[in-house]
Amino acid sequence: MSQIQQLEDFLAATLLSPEGAAQHLAGKVSKQELAPFLGELSAMSASYVSHEVGSKLASPIKSVRSAEAYALYYTVINAAKVLHLLPSLSFVRDEISVLDVGSGPGTAGLALLTALDRSIRLTCVEHSGYMRQVAERLLSQYRGAGKLSKLSVVPAIAPNNIDTYDLVIAANVVAELDTTEGERTVRSLAEKTAPGGYLVIIEPGQQLHTRRLMHLRNALLGSMTEFAPLFPCLRRDPCPMLAYSETDWCHGTIEWRQPRLNAHLDDLLSFNKHRIKYSAFVFQRDGVTPSGIRVLTPPQKTRVGIETLVCGEQIYGVVRIRKGCRSEKNRALEKASVFDRLIVSEPLTQDLGEDIVITKA
């Protein structure tokens, strides 16, 4: 069973009525059992979609039931994004400290507990009392690969708190803040990141949210020289995509095996999360940016050969392998997916010869 299905099974068992939980175990939950959540999810989605990016979102979480509805549908989607980014992080200690800001129902903590065989000292910061209530319940009951050695779920970080954390994460939170608060929040998250620790910011994959995040990335790297980008950026100077294009945005798509209740809710609500679009940045305090190039668009067969947009220390732009130059040595480029990191044997130019050796990192 996939890790995400395991998490969904737990959410269904904890949040649905006993009858609904039994139906989930048997295969499919009836519309009647899901009815209390459907209206909440429709209203929530409408408020996310109509929200003007750059302004503060009025919270659509108006009751424990709406926080539960959020957890039932959005938690597996957002946990999948966290799991997708985990390979960029590595922890040496058996116990790690994690700060999840705008934790909602404890999404990042649940994702980490699912996949990380570690003790986790978790602090969730969450404005909404309804979300905090659900987060406490879910996180204290969940049994995954990891275990919680400490849990605190608080409405805000105390001003005199000087703790720093091995992992600081803010997922789908900056999207809810106005521009000034977004900048202030990212800076304060960076300050909470311990030496050697990671700062992970995840946002919805839409153009405006992502371009806003790209500006925040520039501001952070411009002012805090101790942070190195690890993902997707392989360079720390101002983002060339922002400089060269007024419309492009650096985002990825996660192909997942959609868990079955999530797919059923999609059908009932006419939502569509067969694939998950996202944008994210991973930074490490005192880290070293990996070498190579990041693939930013799916490699395409064109009239001239194989073409794809890449970004790395030496290059930002479309590179191509002309028809006569395709070879086993450079095959990894045409096989690459968006956000793959590739290592190349020599400095890149726009045209790649048949002898250049390209490998997937």
Binding site for ligand SAM (CB under 6 A): 59, 61, 74-75, 78, 101-104, 107, 125-128, 131, 171-173, 176-177, 185
Toward ligand SAM, which CB reaches closer, 151 or 315?
A: 151
- C-alpha dihedral over 11, 146, 91, 295, to 10 degrees? -30
Toward ligand SAM, which CB reaches closer, 11 or 336?
A: 11
| Residue of 66, 29, 33 whose CA lies nearest to 48 | 66
Toward ligand SAM, which CB reaches closer, 129 or 317?
A: 129
Angle between helices 179-191 and 207-223 (to 10 degrees): 50
Q: How many beta carbons lie within 10 A of that of residue 215, not counting itself?
A: 16
Toward ligand SAM, which CB reaches closer, 31 or 275?
A: 275
Polymer length of the chain: 361
Toward ligand SAM, which CB reaches closer, 107 or 258?
A: 107
Toward ligand SAM, which CB reaches closer, 85 or 241?
A: 85
DSSP 54: T
Toward ligand SAM, which CB reaches closer, 6 or 327?
A: 6
Q: Tally DSSP H helices, then E strands, for the chain.
A: 11, 14
The distance of closest approach from Cβ of residue 167 to ligand SAM in the complex, given in angstroms and rounded to an integer, is 14
Note whether 137 and 67 are within 8 A (CB): no
3-state secondary structure of 308: strand
d(Cα 274, Cα 284) in Å, to the nearest integer? 31
Q: How many beta carbons lie within 10 A of that of residue 113, not counting itself?
A: 25
End-to-end CA separation in angstroms for the chain? 27
The distance of closest approach from Cβ of residue 80 to ligand SAM in the complex, given in angstroms and rounded to an integer, is 10
The distance of closest approach from Cβ of residue 171 to ligand SAM in the complex, given in angstroms and rounded to an integer, is 4
Toward ligand SAM, which CB reaches closer, 102 or 146?
A: 102
The distance of closest approach from Cβ of residue 197 to ligand SAM in the complex, given in angstroms and rounded to an integer, is 18
Toward ligand SAM, which CB reaches closer, 154 or 357?
A: 154
Q: H-type helices in 199-347, by residue range?
A: 207-223, 240-244, 260-269, 331-335
The distance of closest approach from Cβ of residue 257 to ligand SAM in the complex, given in angstroms and rounded to an integer, is 19
Toward ligand SAM, which CB reaches closer, 258 or 330?
A: 258
The distance of closest approach from Cβ of residue 195 to ligand SAM in the complex, given in angstroms and rounded to an integer, is 24
Note whether 296 and 289 are within 8 A (CB): no
d(Cα 361, Cα 344) in Å, to the nearest integer? 10
The distance of closest approach from Cβ of residue 189 to ligand SAM in the complex, given in angstroms and rounded to an integer, is 10
| Residue of 72, 85, 114 whose CA lies nearest to 278 | 85
The distance of closest approach from Cβ of residue 184 to ligand SAM in the complex, given in angstroms and rounded to an integer, is 9
Distance from the Cα of residue 5 to its chain's centroid: 18
| Residue of 311, 283, 279 whose CA lies nearest to 209 | 279
| Residue of 107, 92, 104 whose CA lies nearest to 129 | 104
The distance of closest approach from Cβ of residue 92 to ligand SAM in the complex, given in angstroms and rounded to an integer, is 26
The residue nearest ligand SAM at its CB is 104
Burial (CB < 10 A; 0-12, 13-18, 19+), residue 178, is middle
The distance of closest approach from Cβ of residue 47 to ligand SAM in the complex, given in angstroms and rounded to an integer, is 10
